Amino acid sequence: MTTQSIMTVNDLHVHVSTDHCQVPILNGVSFDLQAGKVFGLVGESGSGKTMTCLALVNLLPNKSKVVRGSIKLKNKDLRNLSASEMRQIRGKEIAMIMQNPMSAFNPVVTIGQHFRETLRTHLQVTQKQAEEMAIAYLELMQLPRPDLLLKQYPFQLSGGMLQRVMIAIAVSLQPSIIIADEPTTALDATNQLQILDQLNMLRKEYNTSILLVSHDLGAIAYLADEVAVMNSGNIVERAPVSTLFNRPSHPYTKALLESRLSLSRKACETLE
């Protein structure tokens, strides 16, 4: 089976400018995302996973910017696009699922409004059509009573439901890529598994490429096809998921896996 490369990131360098100097955050990150595949990104806190994700959609925080490298989406270099061209790609071609669903939604705007405005920004549809689409995608995410849900406000929904709404919104525009930066961190265990299953279903159904960032090696092992390990702004190892977990080659990867294993071993010991 041939795989189709959707996005190629090559030699990405991101710097943050402080008062005195430029601090490198990413030093030459390269990877590619393939249609229908899940690309996992792991690494310790502060290694630059979130920065990588933000660079892809050109939403880096103030004072930090891409200084070198290319980000190609289907042979289009995103770094050469104007602000408004980039805006049209966000949501439509590259969707993103936020880490904390509870704060991502505007508390005084209904779920329906969030959904409809997203659809109507990128598609020529009426309010009515947007509403029907929203209901269809909420049903796809197995949310009960989508018609009522659309009239509700974010605070009336649980974190798991909001995360599902967020995924429904992301999928509704059938993007080529979904970036999920720790999509399950804020959720309880049952919801985590369901969300992962649903992401898995979606990438098969729509042939979407998923960039999955997670601290949870279990989630990565469950979903990812390929994994990259990041350490202080570099990808130190990249391998298919089974290879990486069974035969890690880089010392940092070994240390990372070992720390997780020793943690679970400790947990077992205390239980005994």
Partner 1 sequence: MIWFIVKRLSMLIPILFGISLLTFLLIRLAPGDPAEAYLRLSHIPPTNQAIQEMNVKLGLDKPLIVQYVDWLGKVVRLDFGISYVSKQPVWDELMLYFPATLQLTITAVILTVCISVPIGIFSALYKGGMFDHLSRILSFVGASMPTFWLGFLFMYFFSIKLDLLPVVGRGSLAHLVLPSLTLAFAYISTYTRLLRTSMLENLHQPFVFYARVRGLQERVIIGRHVLKMALLPVVTAFGMTIGNMLTGAFIVESIFAWPGLGRFFVSALSHRDYPVVQSCILLMGVIFVVCNLLVDIAYGLLDPRIRWKGER
Ligand X SMILES: Nc1ncnc2c1ncn2[C@@H]1O[C@H](COP(=O)(O)OP(=O)(O)OP(=O)(O)O)[C@@H](O)[C@H]1O
Q: Give the footprint of partner 1 on this chain (CB under 8 A).
A: 57, 59, 87-92, 95-96, 98, 100, 103-110, 117-118, 121-122, 153, 155-156, 169
Q: Which of 50, 64, 198, 253 binds Mg ion (CB under 5 A)?
A: 50
Q: If contact means CB under 5 to 8 A according to the sort of partner, which of partner 1, ligand X, Mg ion, none does residue 122 touch?
A: partner 1
As measured in angstroms, the least distance from the Cβ of 127 to partner 1 is 14
| Range 107-166, binding Mg ion (CB under 5 A) | none
| Range 59-88, binding ligand X (CB under 6 A) | 61, 64
Rank residues 49 and 116 by Cβ distance to ligand X and give the closer one.
49
| Range 163-202, binding ligand X (CB under 6 A) | none
16 binds ligand X (CB under 6 A): yes
Q: If contact means CB under 5 to 8 A according to the sort of partner, which of Mg ion, partner 1, ligand X, none does residue 47 touch?
A: ligand X
47 binds ligand X (CB under 6 A): yes
Cα gap 8→54, rounded to integer Å: 15
CA atoms within 13 A on the CB side of 97: 31
Which of the stretches 27-35, 42-50, 88-96, 244-252 binds ligand X when contact is defined by CB under 6 A? 42-50
Report how far apart, in Å, the C-alpha atoms of 129 and of each of 115, 116, 141, 171 are: 12, 9, 19, 16
Cα gap 102→1, rounded to integer Å: 40
184 binds Mg ion (CB under 5 A): no
Q: If contact means CB under 5 to 8 A according to the sort of partner, which of ligand X, partner 1, Mg ion, none does residue 103 touch?
A: partner 1
101 binds ligand X (CB under 6 A): no
As measured in angstroms, the least distance from the Cβ of 50 to Mg ion is 3
Cα gap 237→250, rounded to integer Å: 6
Rank residues 42 and 133 by Cβ distance to ligand X and give the closer one.
42
Interface ranges with ligand X (CB under 6 A): 16, 25, 43, 45-51, 61, 64
